[in-house]
Structure 1
Amino acid sequence: MSFCLVTNESVEDGIKRIVSEEIAQAIKEIDNPRLKRTEAIHEVRKHCKKIRSVLRLVRPQFEETYQFENAWFRDTAKGIAELRDTEAIIETYDSLLDKFSDQVDRRAFAPIRRALTLRQKKIIEETGDLNQKLKELRARMDKAAGRVADWKLKVDGFDGIEGGIVATYRQARKILTAAYDDPTAENFHEWRKQAKYHGYHMRLLRELWKPVMRSIEKEADELSDSLGDDHNLDVLHKTLLKSPNKYGKKRDIQVLLGLIDRRSAELRVEAKIIGGRIFAEKPKAFGRRFRVYWEVWRSEVELPSKKLTEEPGVVTAAA
């Protein structure tokens, strides 16, 4: 179906369906021989993040199960994180030089680009057989799939998700303030994770009011992208500083570090504007508003069904 709750199923059934579909899709991508192995690993990580967002939505309903399953999917993704990070660093480098292409001579930084590529190849080699790594990931996904049917929620309806959706919103709002009061890379990365979970929750609740939810979802995606780019710039920054002698001339590295700082500052300004809108509302008010959305959405199911019948030049509604 899709990554959202629908009217013809309980919250419990919807959560189990969505997670089962995400696991099945991850396995399908692992089994796809036409998909690059590094790309398959990246896709599996994304499915794990989406599943963890679903778990957060209903966390108060099965805390013990949440703790186990969240750790399971977190560790599944963590085991392959370094591979994706090496690729993201190169993508970030390329994007950064594209951004400032009219201000710098790209050729001067060619040694840095080559060194980053060599670093990626080395990490891939040290990781070992990627097919074997994916085989292990598939086994973990298979095990998880077998447990989903046994998940039980305490209550249904909006009561089943209110605690999770409000807690995630509250945490994202709190870390937004913390990030700008104490602008460390760690705070911004944590904000990105919480904002991403909130964005996934908006997708899960898309059917409540499609035009509005899609707009919020789009804004949340833009926020997550800005914060994700900021995080990748920080990783690139730290990589260059860790072993600067590997990456070329000191002067060129200093120039690149300056570009990283400039772009990071721009992204954080963008994120503050978008985040200020998304998280303007206080958590309790946010929860009350979404309860109303939910109740109106559910009431639509109870309306008498009507269908349109057409005659030449006339459209009528027939019960």
Structure 2
Amino acid sequence: MAALQALHTQVLDVMRSELAGAIAAVPSDIHGARKRCKKLRAMLRLLREPLGTRYAPLNRSIRDAARALSGQRDDDVMAVLCRQLHKDAPELAWSDLPAALPAMDASTTGFDDARALLHSVDEQLADEGLPALTPEDLAAGLRNGYRRARKRWRRALQNPKDAAPLHEWRKEVKYHMHHCQLLTPLWPALKAQRKALDDLAEGLGDHHDRFMLEQRIRNLGDGAKAEHAQRLDQLRREQEWLAKRALRQAETLFALSPGAWWHRHTH
């Protein structure tokens, strides 16, 4: 990204490219479409102040599009996770588990809804563009993203065994990671931060996937606790380890105040 060229034009081009990719990925690559939606929402967060009242409806449309695709994505992730778990503990027959889990709703209506929502966002951006942006606008969004991720980390520290604050922290980590990725051409020192955030987000994602699988098993009914006791025990142990690892990583990533962090990575 050339710092002196019209930033709003460059960012708009990236956003419309991500939208086109997300639309094209439905329904053949639901995971890829949802990843693009997350990146788009991160970009909107970066531009929240310049967008003003336009931010909320744009963000809501992309969020709802991703939710419309969540059922198929969750089933796919659970199947992949069970294959991974089976490699480590074949004696628990993890590969047999997906057949016992009820499928999530993944109707073609959801696909159509997602495409329609994403098309509406693309049309809005084509008609209205983006407000004129300066490096200062992007810097403010970057600092705010770091601040939110740091705040969520502190909340997660209060109860490491609670999956909910860890999941909320993970979302902010991913937003901040995308911000760093987008803005590395302006501030090259962000490259190392992005790589570290990517590793952190992956670990938190692994934690969340295991938590979701645990809940799917428990939702099978009261008898599931006894039938799947060993599987549930393995999932809890792995979640505990992943949470501890992530919180240790954050001690370095989020140790500085937002102001000090900004100065270190951009000066």
TM-score (norm 2): 0.89
Pairing partner for 2:8 from 8, 12, 31: 12
- Deviations along 1:181-237, whole A, 9 cap, x unmatched? 123111000010000001001110121354x43322121111111001101111111
Partner residue of 2:73 out of 84, 92, 104: 84
- More displaced stretch, 219-228 vs 201-210: 201-210
Pairing of 1:292-303 with structure 2 (within 5 A): 292=267
Match of residue 278, structure 1, among 227, 237, 253: 253
1:68 is aligned, of 53, 57, 61, to 57
Q: Are residues 115 and 94 of structure 1, via their aligned partners in 2, closer, same or farther at CA, if it must alter by over 3 Å?
A: same
Q: Is 1:115 equivalent to 2:100 in the alignment?
A: yes
2:237 corresponds to 1:242: no
CA contact (8 A) 1:170 1:283 kept: yes
Q: Is the 8 A contact 1:48 1:77 kept in 2?
A: yes
Alignment size in residue pairs: 265
Q: 1:263 to 1:195 in 2, by over 3 A?
A: same
- CA distance in 1 between counterparts of 2:33 and 2:60 reads 15
> Among the aligned pairs, what percent are the same residue?
26
d(CA) in 2 for partners of 1:260, 1:221: 23
Task: Please tell me whether the aligned partners of residues 190 and 265 of structure 2 are also in contact (alpha carbons under 8 angstroms).
Answer: no
Partner residue, 1:105 = 91
- Following superposition, the deviation at residue 110 of structure 1 comes to 5.5
Residue number in structure 2 paired with 1:170? 147
Aligned pairs (5 A) from 1:1-319 = 5-7=1-3, 9-30=5-26, 37=27, 39-98=28-87, 100-101=88-89, 105-107=91-93, 109=94, 111-116=96-101, 119-120=102-103, 123=104, 126-128=105-107, 130=108, 133-149=110-126, 150-153=128-131, 156-183=133-160, 184-210=162-188, 212-244=189-221, 251-292=226-267
Where in structure 2 are there 5+ consecutive unaligned residues? none
Contact 2:143–2:262 (CA under 8 A) maintained in structure 1: yes
CA drift at 1:105: 1.0
Distance 1:62 1:290 in 2: 25
Structure 1: state its 5+ residue gaps: 31-36, 293-319
- Measured in 1, the distance between the counterparts of 2:72 and 2:256 equals 38
Aligned-residue offset at 1:95: 2.1
Whole-angstrom distance in 2 between the partners of 1:243 and 1:178: 31
TM-score normalised per structure 1 = 0.76
Superposed CA offset, 1:82-139 (max 9, x none): 22112212222222333x33xx6144x55534313xx23xx3xx543x3x54343333
* Shift, 1:245, TM fit: 6.0
Query: Are the counterparts in 2 of residues 6 and 207 from structure 1 also a CA contact under 8 Å?
Result: yes
Max radius of gyration: which structure?
Answer: 1
CA spacing shift, 1:141–1:148, aligned 2, 3 Å? same
Q: 1:20 to 1:246 in 2, by over 3 A?
A: farther
Greater mean deviation of Cα atoms: 64-73 or 277-286: 277-286
Matched-pair contact (CA < 8 Å) for 2:92–2:231? no
